[in-house]
Structure 1
Amino acid sequence: MSLLSFLGTGAALGAGQTGKRLAPISPPVTVKVGMKRAPSDAGILIGIYKGYYEELGIKIEEIQFNSGQEMINLLASGQLDVACTVTAAGLFNAMLRDIPIKIVADKGTNIPGMGYYRLVIRKDLVGVIKDFKDLKGRKVAIVGTASLDEIALDRCLAAGGMSTKDVDLQVIRAFPDMLVALGNGSIDAAMLIEPFVAQGVQKGLIDRWKDPSGYDPHAQTALLVYGPSMIKRPEVANRFMVAYIKALRDYNDAFIKNKGRDEVIQILAKTSTVRDPEVYERMYPAGLNPNGYVRMKGVEMDIEWYIARGLLKGMLKVEDAVDNRYVDFAVGVLGKY
């Protein structure tokens, strides 16, 4: 059933919208979305491929970025409407400058037992690095400091009563380069993300070590963020979210319920940076909430981490950073998953 067909059944809309039809935007509008085309961008990629956005009068203009900070700068200036990104000091500081930027939906969490973003260790150190305390003094790599990556590592080390000050912290800007460093023995461990985790395991370079659900259970790894140009257009923002969550549900049907799995893998192999369909069978999938909501506790913990290190220019409450009204609207249209 197409999205418009579903909406045509008279499904109830969000608060204040009950009884109205969710007609497509006319004339159609273009929404500029910043992303890296990772598999966790499935809510965008699947939605474009299956026409969910187009059915609601939205044309997606994809803009690829190398860093989240680039996206935040363009969001703030109105040159970008939506960003697929992670928590960062720059994001929260923009909010503290009263720029209307909001975290609006989930774009990646670790599924318990299948963490897609985690600390890995060299395969030859499996018998040596058995517990958190064994990481002390070891060379551990992250892609950047004062970032999600350092936060994640810090929480992992905290499980052993340590912090990043207790390891030999290495900054390696690209995940593929981390695999090279792990392979040649120049680092001992790294915060790594799929599909590079699966690649490292297949090549016999790394061990997945401990599941992150044990040391960072509330982590909100990636986010969908609306900029001022989106927030001032609620009719577009709401419809975008309906299409986004519809696509997230296809993703969950595929990877959690094993329903339509081959179709979704083929879509992602065509549209994401992971082109080999076989890789999807080896790597752990990103968790994407089919109801769209972020883990508020995880976002709150990130804000507290940045504040504790003097990286934010003021105090910020999680309720002021996250705006659930768009997800509420979409769930009102689609029903709960």
Structure 2
Amino acid sequence: MTGYFTRWRSFWAAASLICLAGGIAPAVAQAPVLAPLNPPQTVKVAYVPIMKFATAYVAQSRGLFQKYGLDVKMETVKSGTEAIAFLDKGTVDAGGISIVASLWTAWNRGLDIRVIAPGALDPMKDGPTKLIVRKDLIDSGAVKTIADLKGKRIAAAGGPGSGGEYFVSKALEQAKLTIRDVQLLNVGNADMPAAIEAKSVDAVLLSSPYSDQIVKAGTGVLLVQDITPGLMTVAFVGSGKFVKERPEAAERFVLAMTEAARLMQGADYLSQANVDAYLKHNPTTVEAIRSGSPGIYDPNMAIPFDGLADLERVHRENGRTEYDKPLDLAKVIDARFVNKAVELLGKAPAN
């Protein structure tokens, strides 16, 4: 992996020096591999402002959308559910959303939106999502392994069908348990440190900074981490109207984000131009960006079919869908745009 990042870093560094010598911003100076749309087309994007959609932030801030003749309007929303409503109505063209249980039922019913590109994938190591157990249960020997969570109260934000439930389910699978073997409680992330201290829950599924708060307070102990390395829990989706009626715009939208992903590899992830883009579109801090574990921004933007199939399976087996047979992923994914981007740019070196 080090060699891979080094090759990409050297390539982009050389390209940047050439561009800067001419007084042109690096992202704009590279000749487009696909002719820009003329006249430019407006693309409305609704997104939840989190780092997992950072390829869009970089593409917007570094002129990549503009390079392909796209006038991209980025509109923040409070939740993926809100974005889905806009996409379904056709009032926005694309969105950055979380893949939650209700989506699978909606797709089964005929919801006309498609996954057209991945968001960031979870890190392969030292990921942010952690399952933490009360320290007194560890000290007493009541909980030594995941298997000992049977019958215990586990808190996860979002409750039934949420991403939290999925992570808990995947952790329990390691001990051949299901969510039916535990008491799953819907508790907000910010309330979990107090719940652990009050002993109103036995374990919590959460991320930084709250997980760090619990461990530092000495009230909880990390039981399992890296539950689903490389998982895609968020994605860029396109409305049916967008991908069917304006495929040229959708193609360039994904192409620009693929180029952005290639500007975010290795040490370049923290380049000043990229950090500026992150801060412009996401209410975070430089310190949080630099200290956090970055997700995987795949330079080939491959849509992980197997991971999506597993998400669907777990929600279905947990009884969170209105159907009981595996869903045809053709109702969910349209991979032609990421495939076209790689065809035009060439495949990035393997990790």
* Range of TM-score over shorter length: 0.7 to 0.9
Partner Cα distance (2:111, 2:180) in 1: 34
SS at match of 1:209: strand
1:99-135 superposed Cα distances (whole Å, 9 cap, x missing partner): 4311122113222222233433456655454310232
Match of 1:30 in 2: 42
Partner Cα distance (1:80, 1:282) in 2: 34
SS at match of 1:328: helix
Quick check: 1:35–1:63 contact (8 Å CA) kept in 2? Answer: yes
- Per the TM alignment, residue 218 of structure 1 is displaced from its structure 2 partner at its CA by 6.4
Check 1:125–1:245 CA distance in 2 against 1; reply closer, same or farther (3 A cut).
farther
1:299 aligns with 2:303: no
Quick check: 1:195–1:283 contact (8 Å CA) kept in 2? Answer: no
Check 1:203–1:38 CA distance in 2 against 1; reply closer, same or farther (3 A cut).
farther
1:271 aligns with 2:284: no
Match of 1:187 in 2: 201
SS at match of 2:119: strand
Structure (1 or 2) with the greater helix fraction: 2
1:28-67 superposed Cα distances (whole Å, 9 cap, x missing partner): 2222222221111101112211121122222222222233
1:131 aligns with 2:141: no
Q: Which amino acid aligns with 1:293?
A: A
1:167 aligns with 2:176: no
User: Which of 317, 321, 332 does residue 321 from structure 1 map onto?
Assistant: 332
User: Which of 25, 43, 48 does residue 60 from structure 2 map onto?
Assistant: 48
Match of 1:311 in 2: 321
1:152-190 superposed Cα distances (whole Å, 9 cap, x missing partner): 211111211222222221112x43333443455443332
- The correspondence of residues 6-21 of structure 1 with structure 2, limited to 5 A, is 6-8=30-32, 11=33
Quick check: 1:94–1:101 contact (8 Å CA) kept in 2? Answer: no
Partner Cα distance (1:293, 1:195) in 2: 30
Match of 1:233 in 2: 246
Check 1:296–1:198 CA distance in 2 against 1; reply closer, same or farther (3 A cut).
farther
Partner Cα distance (2:215, 2:53) in 1: 23
Match of 2:346 in 1: 335
Check 1:137–1:243 CA distance in 2 against 1; reply closer, same or farther (3 A cut).
same
Quick check: 2:270–2:290 contact (8 Å CA) kept in 1? Answer: no
Check 1:273–1:219 CA distance in 2 against 1; reply closer, same or farther (3 A cut).
same
Q: Which amino acid aligns with 2:116?
A: V
- The correspondence of residues 95-106 of structure 1 with structure 2, limited to 5 A, is 95-106=107-118
Q: Which amino acid aligns with 1:318?
A: L
Check 1:97–1:33 CA distance in 2 against 1; reply closer, same or farther (3 A cut).
same
User: Which of 222, 226, 231 does residue 219 from structure 1 map onto?
Assistant: 231
- Per the TM alignment, residue 196 of structure 1 is displaced from its structure 2 partner at its CA by 4.9
SS at match of 2:236: strand
Quick check: 1:105–1:223 contact (8 Å CA) kept in 2? Answer: yes
Match of 1:209 in 2: 223
- Mind listing any 5+ residue stretches in structure 1 that lack a counterpart? 12-21
Quick check: 1:110–1:117 contact (8 Å CA) kept in 2? Answer: no
1:195-223 superposed Cα distances (whole Å, 9 cap, x missing partner): 6545666676655432325xx35632221
Q: Structure 2 length as normaliser, TM-score? A: 0.79
Partner Cα distance (2:276, 2:27) in 1: 21
Quick check: 1:103–1:323 contact (8 Å CA) kept in 2? Answer: yes
Partner Cα distance (2:209, 2:271) in 1: 18
Match of 1:243 in 2: 256
Check 1:184–1:66 CA distance in 2 against 1; reply closer, same or farther (3 A cut).
farther
Partner Cα distance (1:197, 1:32) in 2: 36
Quick check: 2:125–2:229 contact (8 Å CA) kept in 1? Answer: no
Q: Which amino acid aligns with 2:288?
A: V
- Mind listing any 5+ residue stretches in structure 2 that lack a counterpart? 1-15, 17-25
1:58-98 superposed Cα distances (whole Å, 9 cap, x missing partner): 22222222332222222111122212112234323333343
Greater Cα shift, 204-213 or 81-90: 204-213
Q: Structure 1 length as normaliser, TM-score? A: 0.82
1:210-238 superposed Cα distances (whole Å, 9 cap, x missing partner): 2325xx35632221111123212111101
